Structure 1
Amino acid sequence: MTFSITIECYRILSIYFCLSVILSETTFPHYRSPGLEREKPLFCCNAAFILGSIAVFPLLKQSKCEKYRKQIKITESIHSSASLGHVTEEPMSAQRFGAGIWHFATYLDRYATDGYGAPRSVIEAIDLAGQVKDLSVVDINYPFFGGDFSNAQVKEALDRNKLGVIGITPEIYTREFVKGSFTNPDAGVRRRAHELVTEACDQVRYFGADYVKLWPGQDGWDYPFQVDYGTLWKHSLDGVGRLASENPDLKFVIEYKPREPRVRMSFGSVARTLLGIEKIGLPNVGILLDFGHAIMGGESAADSAQLAIDYGRLFGMDVNDNYRSWDDDLVAGSLHPIEIFEFFYVLRKNNWEGVWQLDQFPFREDSIATANHAIDFLKAAAKGLDALDVDALKEAQSRHDAISGLKIAQKALFGAM
């Protein structure tokens, strides 16, 4: 006992000695504050450093271990759902497919203001989604569109079509939020956005969904000198952070996008969104990576996915396709099959498990046929990943051999179709 007390006293005295030297700024004279001219002999500095290191190291080791234990507990909590999308060393289960319920709605634009088809309700859209083979979950807008439906009515439609809910998307981008939701200059509108998302949180709990999806499409700016960028960014992070802290039992995913409807959107890239999430600093906030949004913003979707995975923030994903200049939301794989195959490869390489979800807008095409065609491509891509010569690919990549890498990837993908 006496020995243990002596050792602890020794550590405390050594730490005190070390800190007193450092605080007097004599260890590194070129960092001294003005007016501090006293210097200690060098051997004192070295002795303090050595003694302090001996004393601090066991404490730091213990502190780090405890920190990592807490991080592991947080990670296990956040990634407890297999459908959420997470990294695991367990063998991957059968791939599941989902779709945004809007895939089965009808649309209008500034030209066809009368719409591209007769309006449909969320119940009708669910019944159409139920006719798609291999579709297991849907992402549902809130409030429900096309009528005043109760949760029980929506659940009844889901049950009879054997569909689950992966996410709830609150509509914080409509006319009410034309000048922004989280970033609106009117504090009252910002409060309304918070209230609407809070209502969506209750829907997530009711339907047993995996996350609240945040797509603040009206948050951003259109012209130079229109906004104060610091204030805008602060409001973005405060809005998301407050919701995440008030609902620690839920996951919040931010779906970033470079533009539309805003010319410049607040969460406009994977890097900017990751910076914001890290600034928020809560474990239940992540990214939903939309393949089309990434490539229209000049990103490599595969690289973006790896970046989000490296930070432990890839909570979900959407797939579609476009010509890079606009968010066309065309059929997945119709234009960039190799790039989307690389995107899937990065997910598989990192053992990321989650729903492969469609975010497509078939304005003129049959919604059921479009979804079936897209899922057929996704299934072919999954089969291609099974056939991919991973060892040969890694060897080619180690040499940065572009042609060999492409040949290996193309053989696997196109051979599976």
Structure 2
Amino acid sequence: MNNKYAIILGNLGNTRDRFCQGYKNNPSSEEMLKMALEKMPHIQGIELVGSWDIRPDNVGDMKKRLDDAGVACASIIPDTFGNPVYGKGSITSIDAGVRQQALDYLRQMSEVALAMNCDIINLWLGQDGYDYLLATDYNQERDWLTECTRAVATEFPTLRFALEYKPKEPRNFSYHARMADTILAAKETGCSNVGVTIDTGHSFYAGENVSEAVVLAKRAGDLLYHMHFNDNHGSWDDDMIVSSVHFTTYVELMFWLRKTGYQGWISMDQYPYREDAIDAISESILWVKKYEQIVDTYYDEIEALIRENDAVKTSRFLRKLFA
């Protein structure tokens, strides 16, 4: 296995939640980038959040910093979720002016991606969904979702638009909620450059088997464009250190990523509110590399166990890994 590892830059500094306005000081993007490049192992890419880390006015500076360090811009994540203008939807807002503003912003971030030699726009449309019943025209808003995604994907055919799904938060219901409906959303655009991002934690608390989600994306036409790794207890998007909770899940996930020929980034996405960010995110990278090593070593044995469909034999194999 020869995976490419990346981090989301803002994870090194943003420690707000709805109770505390910051558990630690929030460094500048430039300071976080310096920390990541100097102190974190195995980093080959950096994901930049639009408006937080990257804007038209600092593209040249950020590109030079990454180029000088020999790391790639793994993705651009447009901020359609933190701006209060989009509080009731970005490209699905019932306000045509807001929809237009959101679409123009996505175009701007796409231009930024081209300038950064980055081919992935990671679309986490966190505000595009709904909260209350009898208050939403689901059909109309999904039409807007499709039309706007199609528009930007058509205008920027050399970029890949990866739809990141999550069942809820900040809205009670998200339009991109699980793998199956996100595949549908991608397919409805009719664009060959629209696919999916799996965030492991989002998949866990969506009630999915994340390995099956990988297979679904493969069967839909190699639609898995990007991966975010973290962990949680299954009831919320806790964004914890990889392997804090799950073990077998990650062994299986790394097997199926190899089995399906995934070639994209393995990117860490977690919020170490109270932990040292460098240490916590580095732990995640080292855990994923450990799972990569396990799969490389035991690939044929794992494949045989899957064919046998014998849960006891599989249990014995997993216990052997701790010997």
Measured against the shorter chain, the TM-score band is over 0.9
Q: Distance in 2 between matches of 1:377 and 1:385?
A: 13
- Greater relative contact order (Cα < 8 A, sep 6+): 2
Q: Which residue does the alignment assign to 2:74?
A: 166
CA drift at 1:163: 2.3
Q: Which residue does the alignment assign to 2:191?
A: 282
Q: Distance in 1 between matches of 2:141 and 2:105?
A: 20
Q: Which residue does the alignment assign to 2:12?
A: 104
Alignment of 1:376-387 (within 5 A): 376-387=286-297
Residues 272 and 203 of structure 1: CA distance in aligned 2, closer, same or farther (over 3 Å): same
CA drift at 1:376: 1.2
Q: Which residue does the alignment assign to 1:334?
A: 244
Question: 1:97·1:136 contact (CA, 8 Å) conserved in 2?
Answer: yes
Q: Which residue does the alignment assign to 1:135?
A: 43
CA drift at 1:396: 3.3
The aligned amino acid for 2:15 is Y
Secondary structure (helix, strand or coil) at the match of 1:321 reads coil
CA drift at 1:275: 1.0
Q: Which residue does the alignment assign to 2:120?
A: 211
Q: Distance in 1 between matches of 2:234 and 2:143?
A: 30
Secondary structure (helix, strand or coil) at the match of 2:70 reads coil
Question: 1:291·1:340 contact (CA, 8 Å) conserved in 2?
Answer: no
CA drift at 1:103: 1.4
Q: Which residue does the alignment assign to 1:185?
A: 94
Q: Which runs of 5+ in 2 are unaligned?
A: none
Q: Which residue does the alignment assign to 2:33?
A: 126
Alignment of 1:67-78 (within 5 A): none
The alignment's C-alpha RMSD in Å is 1.8
Q: Which runs of 5+ in 1 are unaligned?
A: 1-91
Q: Distance in 2 between matches of 1:300 and 1:118?
A: 36
Question: 2:13·2:25 contact (CA, 8 Å) conserved in 1?
Answer: no
Secondary structure (helix, strand or coil) at the match of 2:144 reads helix
Q: Find out whether 1:117 has 2:12 as its counterpart.
A: no
Q: Distance in 1 between matches of 2:162 and 2:4?
A: 19
Residues 189 and 330 of structure 1: CA distance in aligned 2, closer, same or farther (over 3 Å): same
Residues 182 and 162 of structure 1: CA distance in aligned 2, closer, same or farther (over 3 Å): same
Residues 394 and 234 of structure 1: CA distance in aligned 2, closer, same or farther (over 3 Å): same
Q: Distance in 1 between matches of 2:210 and 2:55?
A: 37
Q: Which residue does the alignment assign to 1:371?
A: 281
Question: 2:153·2:161 contact (CA, 8 Å) conserved in 1?
Answer: yes
Count of residue correspondences: 320
Secondary structure (helix, strand or coil) at the match of 2:195 reads strand
CA drift at 1:389: 4.9
Secondary structure (helix, strand or coil) at the match of 2:207 reads coil
Which aligned segments of 4 or more residues in structure 1 are displaced greater than 6 angstroms?
none
Q: Distance in 1 between matches of 2:228 and 2:135?
A: 31
- TM superposition score normalised by structure 1: 0.73
CA drift at 1:122: 1.2
Alpha-carbon displacement from aligned partner over 1:322-371 (angstroms, at most 9, x marks no partner): 01110000011111021022111101112222221100111111111112
Q: Which residue does the alignment assign to 1:298?
A: 207
Residues 123 and 211 of structure 1: CA distance in aligned 2, closer, same or farther (over 3 Å): same
The aligned amino acid for 1:385 is V
Alignment of 1:48-87 (within 5 A): none
CA drift at 1:258: 0.2
